[in-house]
Chains A and B, each alone.
Chain A
Amino acid sequence: MMSGKEYTTFMDDIIVRTVTRLMVPLILLWALYVLIHGAGGPGGGFQAGCVLAAGFILYALSFGLEKTKSIMTIKWISLFSSLGVLIYAGTGLLPLFFGGKYLEYGKIPLINPIKASEYGIEAIEIGVGITVMAVMLSIFYDLSTERED
């Protein structure tokens, strides 16, 4: 996908590069909007993770896999894919220390318990989003890397 002579002309296309340069920040910002507003409106952790991964994949398609791998390295991806699970499980386990059940955020002693529930849902969504983004990107990397054997 990334090697071969006929694809280099596509990579050097100025329209593709300019549109990607303009669109990728907007896509990533939109993903963060979806992530934060997931509790109240349409959207959520999974959708935001998919949109984040789609932004990085668009970057990889127009600027090459190597440049994307130097920005979002495999080390960072494996860190993120476990960090999201850690955020989810940690937020879920936190009410256990205040006498609640697993994922019962209302028991966390903030100023008012309604806000505590809202913040708990947001933390869960952030964890899901990070993990989905990392796993989608790692699948894409594995599919588009040449196997060396």
Chain B
Amino acid sequence: MIWAIDIVLLLFIIILAIGAVLARDLLEAVVLFSAFSLLMCVIWVELNSVDVAFTEAAVGAGVSTVMMIAAIAKTVRWEEP
């Protein structure tokens, strides 16, 4: 565990989370959330829990992104003001 890498990764994660919440374009929010999951996976590996990192990469960054994009395709893309 290297604290400098941890700090940088956590900073990126906070930026991505705020961006995903603030985005008006829902597709943009989904992509930001996928990147959030990917960085979270790196953090799990950094914390020596490879099992959780595996689940995060497969479910968080892979399957759930596709499902949220499918949900956007069935509804509307833009958040209402």
Interface residues of A (CB under 8 A from B): 1, 34, 42-44, 46-47, 50-51, 53-54, 57, 61, 136, 139-140, 143-144
Contact = CB atoms under 8 A, between A and B. Distances in A.
Given A1-B69, A47-B58, A54-B63, 20 more contacts: A1-B70, A1-B73, A1-B74, A42-B54, A43-B54, A44-B51, A47-B51, A47-B54, A47-B55, A50-B58, A50-B59, A50-B62, A53-B63, A54-B58, A57-B62, A57-B63, A139-B67, A140-B63, A140-B66, A144-B73
B10 interface: no
Contacts of B50: 42
B67 A34 contact: no
Nearest to B50: A42
Interface of B: 50-51, 53-55, 58-59, 62-63, 66-67, 69-71, 73-74
Question: Is chain A's binding surface mostly helix, strand, loop or mixed?
Answer: helix
A143 B58 CA distance: 18
Nearest to B49: A42
A136 B64 CA distance: 10
Contacts of B58: 47, 50-51, 54
Contacts of B66: 57, 61, 140
B32 to A, nearest CB: 20
A50 B67 contact: no
10 contacts: A1-B70, A34-B54, A42-B54, A47-B51, A47-B54, A47-B55, A51-B58, A54-B63, A57-B62, A57-B66
Contacts of B67: 139-140, 143
List the 10 closest A-B pairs by CB distance, nearest first.
A50-B58, A42-B50, A143-B70, A1-B73, A54-B62, A47-B54, A144-B70, A42-B51, A51-B58, A50-B59
A51 B62 CA distance: 9
A140 B55 CA distance: 18
Given A34-B54, A42-B54, A46-B55, A143 B63 contact: no
A54 B59 CA distance: 9
